[in-house]
Amino acid sequence: MGNFDLLMHGFGVAITPMHLMLMVGGVLMGLVVGVLPGLGAPNGVSLLIPLTFALDPTSAIILLSSMYWGALFGGSTTSILFNIPGEPSSVATTFDGYPMARKGESTRALTLAFMSAGVGALVGVVVITLLAGWASNFALQFGAPEYFAVYFLAFAAFIGMGSASPAKTLVSLTTGLLLATVGMDTVTGEIRLTFGLDQLLSGISFLVVVIGLFGIGELLSTVQEGLRFRGVSSKIDLRDVLRTIAELPRYWATSVRSALIGIWMGITPGGPTAASFMSYGIARQASRKGEAFGTGRPEGIVAPETADHSAGSCAMLPMLALGVPSSATAAVMMGGLMIWGLTPGPMLFATKPDFVWGLIASMYVSNLIGVILVLATVPMFAALLRIPFAIIGPMIVVICFVGAYTVSNASFDLWLVLLFGLVGYLFTKLGYPLAPLVLAMVLGHKAENAFHQSMILSNGSLEIFFSNTLVTSIMLIALALLILPKTLQLGSRLRRKAPVE
Amino acid sequence: MIKTRIALLTATAVMVAAPALADWAPNRPIEFVVASGAGGGTDNFARTIQSALTRNDIVDAPMVVLNKGGGSGAEAFLYARQNAGDPNKLIFGTNNVYLLPYVAKLAYTTEDLQPVAALALDEFLVWVKADSPYESITDLIDAAKEAPGTITFGGSQSKDTDETLVALIEQVSGADFKYVPFNGGGETGVQLAGGHIAANVNNPNENIGQWQAGAVRPLCVFSPERMAESEPIGDDMGWHDIPTCKEAGLDIESYQMPRTVWLPKDTDPEVVAFYEDAMKKVAETPEWQDYLTKTSQTGAVLLDEELASFIQTNEDNTVKVFQAEGWTAAE
């Protein structure tokens, strides 16, 4: 098995004291970057690029990728503790992670998130190791119609089984789609919905919206409910961490399914954010037990986190092998590759084995380091919830605004945070689900582009979405996911009270 | 008070050091405002310059890269307009600086920016999939003439350099292609390798990986002369073995994209001179030479009048294409 030998060679390259130091440093920096909402992995990694000029490419990519893993881990922390996603891909973690923390089980929620993230990442790396050659060929199969089918599938998986009223879901979804169209359109080059405001030219940043909707929106609700987080008196015990780890194998089905979704979305440019949403939606679909999702279900944390991380690691593959990054951070790293004088492409695996396999080997090691480091921080983060609201509340406000400002250094974004904070508060109060809005913002423009490109290719005929086996099967799965649950729901509607999102 | 003191100090400094070229030096961190997202071609251009300036101690002040790629780069140019007169901001772009205002209604004009230098010319080539039936550019054009509007050209963005070039090919040859815009050159390259489009007009750097792997092959290059000699890359061909489009029978003399550096308008001439000098030094560094070789771009240091006339010619030629296509934004 050639890949195995190459991997061992890679370990030889990756495991040196210097590289181990870079990994620990990278993961720690990534944690900080991930915990702070707004700063985010792409920004963090591009801040580090100038530092890598002095390193050789292998050390440089090890540092940058370690930072990425750290940021992916850190991103779930604030999602769970404060309902503020530190990274776009950890939005789905808030749905069940935050309710669980509010029930006083923050240690459990954090441990579940970190452990399943670790599992996801490792599964992702194993896939990269085994399927390096095959996966890039698979990604080549994806043209515009296939992309659209994948995005459609993500929408269908998540929305088909939404438990809120269909009309409210539709309102939320279309609001998201509308927000996603602001700015310059790739396919037509037209500027849309900016109302002559220069600040809107680059579109409305998804992160800014999320910080407002979730962070500020949640804060407003908390204030109304009497100025305190419920369940603050959580016990903090390292044994809780161990107990939760022991609990993990029970969710093996969710883990396996989510890891597979993550791998797929990582290899084809759906990206970690789409993966986590899709995996959460499908987990909700697959669960038959009474307790509703959105109330602190462990599967609701395991699913998005596993998918997020397996997608994150698999995103390295199309970046290296095709030169197509399937996440924003991968795009920044690819820029780094070119500056270091490496050409991403199918030949990189053949011409620079030290670099490629050193990186892959380092992914095993630095994710292990990452899991150990984040687990060690669990008690510390969980303790944050014991701080009285009078102190932590204002701090969250500051973090939200600083975070929103860091996204693109624009003071206009601060107004947007405020606005979307109000929107988030109103949506929650009136029972409109936020998730479809967020999903539409992430995938709306991509889906629109792919649809538009397909229409140009087919001269406006919808047949293109059923023109070959690949695209037809994805479309059929998507349609099934969209229609079946609603039909089944109709049947059981009278027997079961519809759970609230 | 402090301002007057600084003014006085500067005045004294200017008087003392009058004959020296570098009358001005940055006293604050320099912002490198990049008109593309992180990882884009313009981003690599700016970061290479950052690395060359740092490693060779050409500029002492710290440099920070700021990506403002929104609206095809318009975000960066609007930022320049808002910061008129600020000597600590350098803007990195292509010819989009002066072409964007023609195709989109934007709140800046080219006069809001002061050109500093063009440092490289990026080449354009026609690429097809390795197993495609088209052996030469004329094959491709003939096929398009036989079945108008069926052969797909992919490219990056809309009404940007790629679509302009495809439109130019159509205008010159009389063929009719179908143009599909994608998000960037890398994506377009993969779409071609996967056989989802028939051809693209990627820059060398955007397709080299796929060429090495034997997934795509070049038909011709839009430069007045063949590209520089190089090691064989794909099919035992190097860059120099690719015919120019003109010799291959497509009458387009040259189509190149400059990589340009700008300042906000209304800065002092000393400031412009300082950066011109710095860019000249960058062009001599090994880092820069390495960048040119790796990305297969043609080095060309254009300053001052040479730069102005290059911009004028490039602008005039492109606007002609825009007008013929009816793309110019309504006045």
- Please report the DSSP string for B196-235 in residue order: SSSEE---HHHHHHHHHTTSEEEEEE-SSSPPPP----BT
Do B294 and A343 lie within an 8 Å CB cutoff? yes
Nearest to B255 by CA among B165, B147, B145: B165
Residue B261 pairs in a beta bridge with B92, B117
**How distant is the Cα of A407 from the closest Cα of chain B, in angstroms?**
11
Residues in contact with A354: Cβ distance below 8 Å, sequence separation at least 6, in sequence order: A9, A10, A13, A58
Tell me B166's DSSP state: H
Do A186 and B157 lie within an 8 Å CB cutoff? yes
| pTM for the full predicted model | 0.88
For an interface test with A, the pick among B75, B102, B292 (most A C-beta atoms closer than 10 Å) comes out as B75
SS3 for B129? strand
A4 touches chain B (CB under 8 A): no
Do A140 and B182 lie within an 8 Å CB cutoff? no
- Reading the block at residue A159, the tokens are 């929305």
**How distant is the Cα of B8 from the closest Cα of chain A, in angstroms?**
33
Q: What is the pLDDT of residue B1?
A: 46
Residue B12 CA to residue B9 CA, distance in Å, equals 5
Q: List the single residue in B75, B106, B208 with the smallest CB-CB distance to A345.
A: B208
What domains are defined for chain B?
Answer: 2-121+257-325 (3.40.190.150), 125-254 (3.40.190.10)
A272 alpha-carbon distance from chain centroid:
4
A408 touches chain B (CB under 8 A): yes
Domain coordinates in residue numbering, chain A:
2-492
Tally A–B CB contacts below 8 A. Answer: 144
Q: List the single residue in A140, A189, A345 with the smallest CB-CB distance to B157.
A: A189
Q: List the single residue in A187, A322, A334 with the smallest CB-CB distance to B39.
A: A334
Residues in contact with A448: Cβ distance below 8 Å, sequence separation at least 6, in sequence order: A177, A180, A181
- Strand order from edge to edge, sheet including B63-67: B63-67, B30-34, B89-93, B256-264, B113-123, B298-303
Q: pLDDT tens for chain B, 331 residues: list them.
A: 455 555 544 444 444 444 445 579 998 999 999 998 877 789 889 999 998 998 899 998 999 888 888 888 999 999 999 999 999 999 999 999 999 999 988 889 999 999 999 999 999 999 999 999 999 999 999 999 999 999 999 999 899 999 999 999 999 999 999 999 998 888 899 899 999 999 999 999 889 888 988 999 999 999 999 998 888 988 889 999 999 999 999 999 999 999 999 999 999 999 999 999 999 999 999 999 989 988 899 999 999 999 999 999 999 999 999 999 999 875 4
| CB contacts, 8 Å: B194 with chain A | 140-143
CB contacts under 8 A, A 168-187 vs B, are 183-187
| CB contacts, 8 Å: A198 with chain B | 78, 107
| CB contacts, 8 Å: A190 with chain B | 104
B230 touches chain A (CB under 8 A): no
Least confident interval from A89-93, A237-241, B320-324:
A237-241
Give the ipTM of the model, two decimals please: 0.86
CB contacts under 8 A, B 24-63 vs A, are 37-40, 43-44, 47-48, 50-51, 54-55, 63
For an interface test with A, the pick among B177, B196, B235 (most A C-beta atoms closer than 10 Å) comes out as B196
Q: What is the pLDDT of residue A36?
A: 79
